[in-house]
């Protein structure tokens, strides 16, 4: 019967477990045995962790080997892309855009980029945005370019953040907004994209001290929403 049930029915006394008299020798033996047991448990946990780390490292290595083999084999790459693998779709798009391993085909590249981009691949989103901005393989469309730059930028893609900043600076595909452009340029620079420095200088010439502060605050808000690289 649980304690609250005993209280409910008036049975408030609890039964104490019997404990044997203290025996120093027995206590010492149990202490040593318990110490060894704890030590073995600690060693066991370490062994388990080392084995787990080793297994994860092996899985990572195997995945890398499989991807390398797929990357070297055009047939496997296409098969993986057709089966919906976003990485393979992105890689196939790169090959079609550069002409590496196949004839250069911007239309096919854009199609593969789009499939990978729709699955959330940030690199494909950035490349698709660039193709829309330049009109390569697709109709030139600044609004569509901004859409894909933003999706990649929101995943922490530094180049996409820089390009989105450029679009805001020039009012291309979006309402011109120096504060928003400044915020994205700051994020891009924070992720090591060197071209963002020139944009920051441009915005700081355009913006008053107060407006810069607003842009910096906006960058902090965006930073919290964006996954770390």
The number of beta carbons lying within 10 Å of the beta carbon of residue 68 is 10
Q: Show the domains of the chain with their CATH numbers.
A: 66-140 (1.25.40.10), 142-229 (no CATH)
* CA–CA separation, 13 and 18 (whole Å): 15
pLDDT, the chain, mean: 80
| Helices 86-98 and 24-72, packing angle to 10 deg | 30
User: Residue 74 has what pLDDT?
Assistant: 83
This prediction's pTM:
0.69
Tokens at 164, concatenated: 């989105």
User: Looking at residues 107-132, what average pLDDT do you find?
Assistant: 97
Say what percent of the chain tops pLDDT 70. Answer: 68
User: Residue 26 has what pLDDT?
Assistant: 53
pLDDT in tens, 66-113: 454 445 588 899 999 999 999 999 999 999 999 887 789 999 999 999
pLDDT in tens, 156-190: 999 999 999 999 999 999 999 999 999 999 999 99
Tokens at 211, concatenated: 């407006």
Report how far apart, in Å, the C-alpha atoms of 214 and of each of 22, 77, 85, 221, 224 are.
Answer: 72, 47, 41, 11, 16
Q: Give the list of residues 6+ apart from residue 193 with CB closer than 8 angstroms, or none.
A: 158, 159, 161, 162
């Amino acid at each position: 019967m649980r304690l609250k049930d005993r209280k409910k029915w008036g049975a408030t006394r609890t039964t104490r477990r019997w404990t044997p008299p203290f025996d120093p020798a027995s206590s010492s033996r149990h202490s040593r045995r318990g110490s060894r047991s704890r030590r073995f448990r600690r060693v066991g946990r370490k062994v388990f962790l080392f084995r787990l780390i080793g297994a994860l490292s092996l899985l990572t290595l195997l995945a890398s080997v499989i991807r390398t083999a797929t990357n070297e084999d055009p047939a496997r790459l296409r098969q993986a892309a057709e089966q919906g693998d976003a990485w393979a779709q992105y890689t196939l798009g790169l090959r079609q855009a550069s002409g590496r391993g196949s004839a250069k085909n911007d239309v096919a590249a854009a199609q593969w980029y789009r499939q990978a981009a729709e699955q959330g691949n940030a690199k494909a989103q950035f490349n698709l945005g660039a193709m829309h901005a330049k009109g390569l393989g697709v109709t030139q469309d600044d609004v569509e370019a901004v859409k894909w730059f933003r999706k990649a930028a929101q995943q922490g893609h530094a180049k996409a953040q820089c390009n989105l900043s450029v679009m805001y600076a020039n009012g291309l595909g979006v309402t011109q907004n120096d504060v928003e452009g400044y915020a994205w340029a700051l994020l891009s620079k924070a992720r090591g994209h060197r071209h963002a420095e020139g944009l920051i200088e441009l915005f700081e010439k355009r913006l008053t001290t107060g407006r810069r502060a607003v842009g910096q605050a906006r960058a902090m808000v965006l930073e919290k929403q964006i996954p770390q690289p």
